[in-house]
Amino acid sequence: MAHPAQLGLQNATSPIMEELIAFHDHALMIIFLISSLVLYIISMMLTTKLTHTSTMNAQEIEMIWTILPAVILIMIALPSLRILYMTDEFNKPYLTLKAVGHQWYGSYEYSDYVDLAFDSYIMPTYFLEPGEFRLLEVDNRTTLPMEADIRMLISSQDVLHSWAVPSLGVKADAIPGRLNQAMLASMRPGLFYGQCSEICGSNHSFMPIVLEFIYFQDFEVWASYLYIVSL
């Protein structure tokens, strides 16, 4: 999760987020080089009195400042398109999880299991245990297996919501009457926090998302326990 005064992105826990961070650094370096070059040229024009008439109407310079931006845009567009297609790639997901947004809580349903569904509300401050985060903790965490491709089906029952977990590189709108799809995977166990990222009413700030990734065998034990309890 994010830390106070953090300047960069959150640590990646999925391959997609690692690619997004690498693309962010790639684009930021290009922006830095362009800004430095423009600042250098402006400073030289303001501090020197020397001019050369042949540079004011030179065809070579016009070709350079036309072709060079096109090359830079291609260097940015190709990695961007690659990551865009990677985010839409779905290869035999191990598990399907359906998330439905409400005002102002989330409902989760494990489509591959019988009667495995629950609601997830924000944890009131006076119920928090030591080490838990205010406005980020929920009463029912969404438990998922690590190192497995998980397909998210995201929708809403009332207004627009947005299901977002930054460390996984996942953000999808929850639209009433429409089912959006996203793929997520975690390469390590742990707790990962997110929030609704679409203004959805007066309690928009109180819709946290908590994903708990555990080992595969522990997930099967957890799912079996919930099934037995629900009988």
Q: Where are the domains of the chain?
A: 15-88, 95-230
**Predicted pLDDT at 53:** 60
Laid out side by side, the sheet with 150-156 consists of 117-120, 105-110, 95-102, 150-156, 180-184
Span of 91-95, 104-108, 167-171 with lowest mean pLDDT: 91-95
Q: pLDDT digit string (tens) for 216-226?
A: 889 888 888 87
**Predicted pLDDT at 19:** 93
42-46 long-range contacts (CB < 8 A, ≥24 apart) are none
Is the model's pLDDT at 51 over the cut of 90?
Answer: no
Annotation: CATH topology of 95-230? Immunoglobulin-like (2.60.40)
What class has domain 15-88?
Answer: mainly alpha
Q: pLDDT digit string (tens) for 121-169?
A: 999 988 898 888 999 999 999 999 998 899 999 999 989 999 999 999 9
Is the model's pLDDT at 68 over the cut of 80?
Answer: yes
3-state secondary structure (DSSP) of residue 35: helix
Does 15-88 match 95-230 in CATH topology? no
